[in-house]
Structure 1
């Protein structure tokens, strides 16, 4: 064992241990690079975390995406991972697909029902983006909702 200037004894790595560490590092870096080029957010940390990759201008609104469901009693519920099994990042990443085909929101209603079997069924699901007004890189306190897609349960 070799000594150090702090008086702590450290064991030297064997050739096999060094080779294992180098191989693990090379594989990790290769996965990170491949994920950056070809990956999607759901492959994080080996895919890009693109939700943080963009920057709004100092006077552009800051979007805040949510999915709301309205049940058969008229109650409005924010649908999230804990109650509907859907993550906001997934919704944001597929927003265009929901806008193009709002019937896809029915899957979220079905997932909500599976996770909440005793709850009244959802009769409406909406994809809403709340735009927070920004001026000179500061929030003004004003906002507006932009309803991007709506699914209504067929009668």
Structure 2
């Protein structure tokens, strides 16, 4: 049996309810405006998300950051997520902290040792940025590596 839908009468918002909604809306708009003018990525969603709001010039070199270590035998060991459990984005996001205090890279060496107990210990950990040459918006096949941060164990 079909019962017709009954519309209940709508209650009107109280003056206080309107004031609360208006205040919340104005606060949200003010935060958006302030974030747009003075915000950083850390202020998201009220600040701009820079990675989507800017671009580099077409001929600017493109960075590719990696972490590598040197073990006791002198071999260079890639220290990606599989080797350490630490994502590259975590390293890149805190690169300024590592530059200010390279001893923080000790934790990367410890994470590697935990996952590879039989491997030779690391005597050095470094953050290396490979700058790919770009011309006319296209890679040229040339690059330059630059060590951004280095940590070495005490002898």
TM-score, structure 2 normalization = 0.66
In 2, Cα distance between the equivalents of 1:87 and 1:51?
19
Quickly say closer, same or farther: Cα 1:37–1:103, change in 2 above 3 A. closer
Q: Which residue of 2 aligns with 1:117?
A: 117
Number of residue pairs aligned between Structure 1 and Structure 2: 114
Displacement of 1:55: 2.4
In 1, Cα distance between the equivalents of 2:142 and 2:81?
27
User: What RMSD, in angstroms, separates the aligned Cα atoms of the two structures?
Assistant: 2.3
Q: Which residue of 2 aligns with 1:145?
A: 145
Q: Which residue of 1 aligns with 2:35?
A: none
In 2, Cα distance between the equivalents of 1:114 and 1:52?
37
Q: Which residue of 1 aligns with 2:37?
A: none
In 1, Cα distance between the equivalents of 2:121 and 2:49?
34
Q: Which residue of 2 aligns with 1:93?
A: 93
In 2, Cα distance between the equivalents of 1:78 and 1:49?
30
Quickly say closer, same or farther: Cα 1:53–1:67, change in 2 above 3 A. farther
User: Which structure has the larger Rg over C-alpha atoms?
Assistant: 2
The gaps in structure 2 that reach 5 residues or longer are: 1-40
